[in-house]
Amino acid sequence: MKRLIGFMVLFMATLFATSPNQILKMAKDSGLEAMPKGKELKNFQIQKIKELGIKAKKVFTQEQIELGKMIYFDPRISSSNLISCNTCHNLALGGADLVPAAIGHGWKANPLALNSPTVYNSIFNAVQFWDGRVHNLGDQAQGPIQSDVEMSAPADLVVQKITSIPEYVQAFQKAYGKDIKIDFELITNTIAIFEASLVTPSRYDEFMSGNLKALNKEEQEGLELFVQKGCASCHSGVNLGGTMQAFAVAKPYKFADIGGFKGDQDGLIKVPTLRNVAETMP
């Protein structure tokens, strides 16, 4: 009798369990999207780079990506010659720095107690910076370089340093043509080109693209809960975040006053991506 009851319970649970197809539909209906891949991904990256207004016949070329990578790792673009983009957005640490508040010029912590968001998949963010004040990676790159509490390097100094190095001048000419003018905007846009290449597709994307076996049963149940509990209300889109949302919707956030950060003028903040979240905790 006990076996029969156990079998009936198991049968009923199986009968009413949410199917993978239903979970996929729920996820898509809630605003979750797969990362584009192949030609679709490259076209998306090219389009985002074209929006920067770079005066070149082609953008997102391998030469431009490699040049952006060189600058990204070069601490000489900071006034101290010690801090590179990779210092706070360390590609070996999930694209972040894993400390509660970013450490910048003079080895001081960010005065607003802000931590460094991951640079991986940042091309999919609708806005950049926690207060969403810019919308593209080129403008974003200009901020930390010039910020007194980050790299503390005036734009003119950065251009002076880059153009004083013959190998850099040659690399820019190879990437953009011999007549290219190397200014601060082109330098930061080139960093953005490299950052646009930093994408990390996963099995989750395969599931969202229709491969129902890409996630195991427990992972599918987790995705179902993620949608049902409303997590996808803020952590949505391709990047599971990256848009501006209201701060403390459910209840007051007990750390809201630390450092004085209030978000933008409307009290909205950029939602952190949940991609690689296990590796990017502050």
Q: Which positions are catalytic?
A: 150
Instruction: Give, as one character, the DSSP assignment of residue 255.
Output: T
Closest CA to 276 of 94, 11, 126: 94
Please state the φ and ψ torsions of residue 269, each to the nearest 5 degrees: -130, 160
CA distance 222 to 231: 11
- Spatial distance between the Cα atoms of 180 and 1, rounded to a whole number of angstroms: 83
Nearby residues of 173 by Cβ (< 8 Å), 6 or more positions away: 180
CA gap 242, 239 in Å, rounded: 6
Residues with Cβ within 8 Å of 139's Cβ and at least 6 positions away in sequence, in order, are: 128, 188
**What crossing angle do the helices spanning 137-146 and 155-163 adopt, rounded to 10°?**
100
Task: Round to whole Å and give the CA distance between 217 and 178.
Answer: 56
Take residue 13 and report the two structure tokens written for it: 């649970």
What's the CA angle centered on 214, arms 208 and 217, to 5 degrees? 100
Which residues share a beta bridge with 134?
A: 128
User: Among 155, 183, 157, which residue's Cα sits nearest to residue 169?
Assistant: 183
